[in-house]
Amino acid sequence: MKLFTVLIGIFSIFYQATLGADLGYIRSTLTQHFSDARHHVSNPAYKRQAVQFIYDEFQKHGLNTNYHNFTFREVSYTNVIGVLKGERFGTYKDEIVGVGAHYDTVDITKGVDDNGSGVTAMLESLRQIAAGNQGDNRRKNTIIYMAFDHEEYGLTGSRLAIDEWLLPWLTKNYGKDLELLKPNGIIVLDTVMNYNSSTQSQVIPPEAEQIFQLYFPKTVKSIASDQFKGDFLATIFRQDLDGNLASTFNSEWLGEPQPQFEIEMFEIAIDADVNLFGHFLRSDHANFWKSPIPAIFITDSANFRGQMQQCYHNACDNLANILTDNNVQFLGKTADTIAATLDKLADDTGTSGASSVCFISALWLSIGLMQIIP
């Protein structure tokens, strides 16, 4: 009977993988829950509804779900965190993997791309992961889902989620010797559905052009050879420290259908001065790097592509401009890749490439980050 249950679980995972993303769920989630400002002053009621929806989705799909409430400058905020325990939970063999996205917005934007898209991709990946978690079938490694508040003003929510929730939670469940943990790390999603196949729609920040040419020559050449089309998802990571997570995500993306949706890798050299990469430190992954915890940053490049050059943090980041068929399919491939990456790393039977990475090994890089992250 146990073998039968395991086989059913394996079949469920395979079946879900062949189905791919539920584009109807993606559309309805964006339309109903992430199509208006989620700001504590300009639209607090809609923001509370979004928080409740995330919490309910986490619970519905079997996560041990928690609110992490915090106060910053006399205003209350809420992170939502969910845990899917693996067989190795509570042991130093547990190579934890996670995904996170902020749900808040600035006051005047609808925030469909920034960052309704990231939260929606995260939730769709959870739906797929939960479909393969039937009966007694459990993945070996623990998966953590994190929805961050107050990203738009100093990356505050993720910083406090790490300091006040994650690190104490790790100590409680794994012991004080956290340097023995070798996590796969966290995928951070921020503005991930703006696809643009027009030539010259992708911009490299003018002030950073020389830096890009120096540190990412192959990637810049690849984008240029494609006539600067904004038809790719960018993966930003640190050489060696986040390499296993990045390479797995890249491999899973390339294994998905719809090759017109491309991927570009921005690998920050191990000896590079992180102060040179200000544009690459604008989301919650920067706090994980500072911690230091492995993390990769997944983005469509935000205000450096197409109409988001004008709509980033403005009212036109809305359903009318962002909810197109191409963008929904692009987001669907992103969600599929997240689910496949989480599933692969959570079910890894041996020590992963992350085994060479521990919290202490990245401290040297954290020193530079401390100077530039608010």
Dihedrals phi, psi of 11, to nearest 5 degrees: -60, -40
**Per-residue pLDDT, 193:** 98
Task: Look up residue 259 and give its DSSP letter.
Answer: T
Does the structure show a pLDDT above 50 at 16?
Answer: no
Distance CA 282, CA 291 (A): 16
What average pLDDT does this structure show over 221-236?
98
pLDDT value of residue 374: 46
In the predicted model, what is the mean pLDDT of residues 36-58? Answer: 98
pLDDT in tens, 83-111: 999 999 999 999 999 999 999 999 999 99
pLDDT of residue 19: 52
**What pLDDT, on a 0 to 100 scale, did the predictor assign at position 274?**
78
Structure tokens at 240: 């060696």
* Averaged confidence pLDDT in the chain: 89
pLDDT in tens, 150-207: 999 999 999 999 999 999 999 999 999 999 999 999 999 999 999 999 999 999 988 8
Starting at the edge strand found earlier in the chain, the sheet holding 75-84 runs 64-72, 75-84, 143-148, 97-102, 185-189, 295-299, 232-238, 262-268
Output the pLDDT for position 120. 98
pLDDT confidence of 136, banded at 50, 70, 90? low
Residue 8 has pLDDT above 50, yes or no: no
Q: What is the pTM of this model?
A: 0.89
% of the chain exceeding 70 in pLDDT: 87
CA distance readout (Å), 278 to 113, 210, 230, 281, 372: 21, 14, 21, 5, 8
Select 2-370's CATH number: 3.40.190.10, 3.40.109.10, 3.40.630.10, 3.30.470.20. Answer: 3.40.630.10
Mean pLDDT of 139-146: 97
Segment among 264-273, 337-346, 357-366 with least mean pLDDT? 357-366
pLDDT tens-digit readout, 351-372: 444 433 444 334 434 434 444 4
> What pLDDT, on a 0 to 100 scale, did the predictor assign at position 132?
78
Q: Token pair of 177, please?
A: 């010797």
Asked whether residue 348 carries a pLDDT value surpassing 90, the answer given is no
| Region 216-220 average pLDDT | 96
